[in-house]
Structure 1
Amino acid sequence: MDINKIEIDVFVQRTEEMHKRLLTLYNSSTDTINLTPDKLPQTFMELGHASEIVKIATEELYQQNEELVQIRNLAETERQRYWELFESAPDAYLVTDNFGIIQEANRAAARMLNLSQCYLVGKPIANYVALEDRQSFRSFLRQLGECGNKTMELVLCFLKSNGDMFDTAITVAVTRAPQGQITEVRWLIRDISEQQGMLGDRHHKPVELPSVNQDRSLVENRLLHKYCKGETVPLNPGAIWYVSQGMVKLSTLCETGEEVLIGLAAEGMVFGSSLTSLHIYQATALSDTELSSIYLAEIASFQNLSHTLLPKINRRLRQTEAFLAIVGRRRVEDRLDALLQLLKQEIGEKVPQGSRLSVRLTHEELASACCTTRVTITRLMGKLQKRGKIGFDSKNHIIIIDI
């Protein structure tokens, strides 16, 4: 049984006992003092009123805990689905910290390096770079903090466990905390040994490849589907959507029929019913949006397409895990604060006061993501505004103020 539910049950039991004791005291006072109820001391009346308020509050708390468990289960299902996609991806994928220590590795990475996944975790990625490239690679690692959010591409020579060397093309992207420090580095690695002749002489050092719009294949020669703000985006199980412009809200429904926010697909991201195992999954345009459809059969047939899509699917996985972490926090205030920081990272735009969320989210939508009520979110948002932590622009978009 969930520990929160046990604690709430104990609290409810004690509240009911307190209510019974007050009722007994109330009745015995009437018999002893021989007064009618309207003549009883005001203290008893106030205690009775307070008892009723506590009783109602515990009922709401119990209901919110049940909803929180449901949302946590939904988010865990979504996270597991994206983890399976990460694991079964055809390309090698590594996640490291800012020092290059491997934290996660998929099966393709283990096959590429001829090592087990568990062995790779905790090892420096530099261990698997050829000796002639290692010094310049470490220099590249030290400079990661200065690259902003730019995605970089490198050509490196890697080593297998048996000593065999092979050339790779690597796509590198960093994830940052709200304060700007690097939290993790993501490495998509492709074996290009067969293409070595086309790449020319690398002079045995990492080089940045020519700037290429990798997303071009996701929009070129494809029909753009336009949806206005508030429109429902249809989901085809045989295809995924790529967001060329705008933003889409991803949500599901609880057993109570309430909508639960489980993700936001911004420009450059992908979504679709084939990327989730939730029975109820819906997409709604949060702004005027342009989407292009990519069929799963295409992804299976064209390797370059799958290379381009893998980092985008992983980004959705990371976002799903972030939403899961939010609903796992016990205090509503902490959930709201974590949600605002996530939104700042995902859809924040720099303004003089801080970061402005690029779309307007209602208190109802914020409440669904935090597993609480709209009234509670309205109260907490008012407190944050009074403390100078948030503000609003002329279009009522939230501004998270830098302090």
Structure 2
Amino acid sequence: MHFSENSAEASRPFLTWQRIIDWGHTHYRDRIFRKDERVPARPGLLYLVNKGAIRLVGAAQSSIVNFDDGESSEPPSDLPEEAFLGFVDAGQPFEIVAQSPFNLQAYAHVDRTEVVWMYWHDLDNWPHFRKEVYESFRYQHQRKLLWLSALGQRRTIERLMNFLTLLIEEYGEPCENGYCLPYLLTHAQIGSAIGSTRVTVTRLMGKLRRQGLISIQEDNLICMPHWETAKNYKEK
């Protein structure tokens, strides 16, 4: 299992990345965004996150029913209009797909998130980096397949636990008792990702905390104390 420890920056030749960032500054292809500010991304362009983090969301196309055993269906009016689709960390690329069942949008998830944009043919200047961009998108696609598999669970609490495990596996940073998600996520955003509601997520998060499967650190950051604990939960 791999936890993120700025591996993207560590594995990339710093000089190449710095040249691309400098190129973006010189050609006025960079911009710094405030927290929750929408990034005016459009299809056909490549975006690189230099600092901070991007939150991808999509317009929900249909209401999702809660399939928890013994629980009634959740009212569609309580479901958010936007579904959280994941993060793009610093040092990673992203794009907005033109033809998609979702209306995709990008937002700065933390303050002073810096994004550099370019046309795909601009990568001809850095052929080795172009290969790295393709590899990054391939990895992101593989993670999305795992995400879909996790969200295919019938019970909401299983979807929630799998969702948190995938997030912390990919972005978690070492903390005193395990690994902690470095970005704040609201219960409404989590609910939008797993097809549930804020009220249900709040209740189930409390249940997972009482079971010792997750903990909440300062600034309301979600942590997973021990990987083995989560693994044992999955095997039940």
TM-score interval, normalised by the smaller of the two chains: 0.7 to 0.9
* Aligned mates of 1:264, 1:374 — CA distance in 2: 19
Partner of 1:259: 82
* 1:280 equivalent in structure 2: 103
Structure 1: 5+ residue runs without aligned partners? Answer: 1-144, 152-172, 174-210
Q: For residues 279 and 361 of structure 1, what CA distance do their matches in structure 2 show?
A: 21
Indicate conservation of the 8 Å contact 1:268/1:312, yes or no: no
Q: CA RMSD in A?
A: 2.5
Q: Partner residue of 1:246?
A: 52
Q: Does 1:365 align with 2:189?
A: yes
Point out the structure with the larger helix share.
1
Of 209, 214, 231, which aligns to 1:385? Answer: 209
Counterpart of 2:130, as a letter, is S
Unmatched 5+ stretches in structure 2: 63-79, 230-236
1:157-306 to 2 correspondence within 5 Å? 212-213=13-14, 214-223=16-25, 224-255=30-61, 258-274=81-97, 277-288=100-111, 289-299=113-123, 303-306=127-130
Would the aligned equivalents of 1:218 and 1:294 in 2 still touch at CA under 8 Å? no
- Looking at structure 2, the residues matched to 353 and 266 of structure 1 have their Cα atoms a distance apart, in angstroms, of 23
Alpha carbons of structure 1 residues 276 and 336: separation in structure 2 relative to 1, 3 Å: farther
Question: Does the 8 A contact of 2:151 with 2:162 survive in 1?
Answer: no
Q: What is the TM-score when the length of structure 2 is the normalising length? A: 0.75
When residues 279 and 245 of structure 1 are mapped into structure 2, their CA distance, relative to the original with a 3 A threshold, is: same
Q: Aligned partner of 2:122: which letter? A: E
Q: Using the alignment, how far apart are the partners of 2:128 and 2:166 within structure 1?
A: 31
**What is the alpha-carbon distance in structure 1 between the residues aligned to residue 144 and residue 99 of structure 2?**
11
Higher relative contact order (CA 8 A, sep 6+): 2
Count matched residues.
199
- Residues 279/401 of structure 1: CA separation in 2 closer, same or farther (3 Å cut): closer
Q: Which runs of 4+ in 1 moved over 6 A?
A: none
Task: Tell me the secondary structure at the aligned position of residue 223 of structure 2.
Answer: strand
Aligned residues: percent identity? 29
Q: Contact between 2:44 and 2:98, CA under 8 Å: does it hold in 1?
A: no
Asked if the contact 2:49/2:90 (under 8 Å) is kept, the reply is yes
Compared CA separation, residues 221 and 375, structure 1 to 2 (3 A) = same
Give the structure-1-normalised TM-score: 0.46
Partners of 2:105 and 2:34 lie apart in 1 by 16
| CA 150–243 in structure 1, closer or farther in 2 if over 3 Å, else same | closer
- Whose radius of gyration is greater, 1 or 2? 1
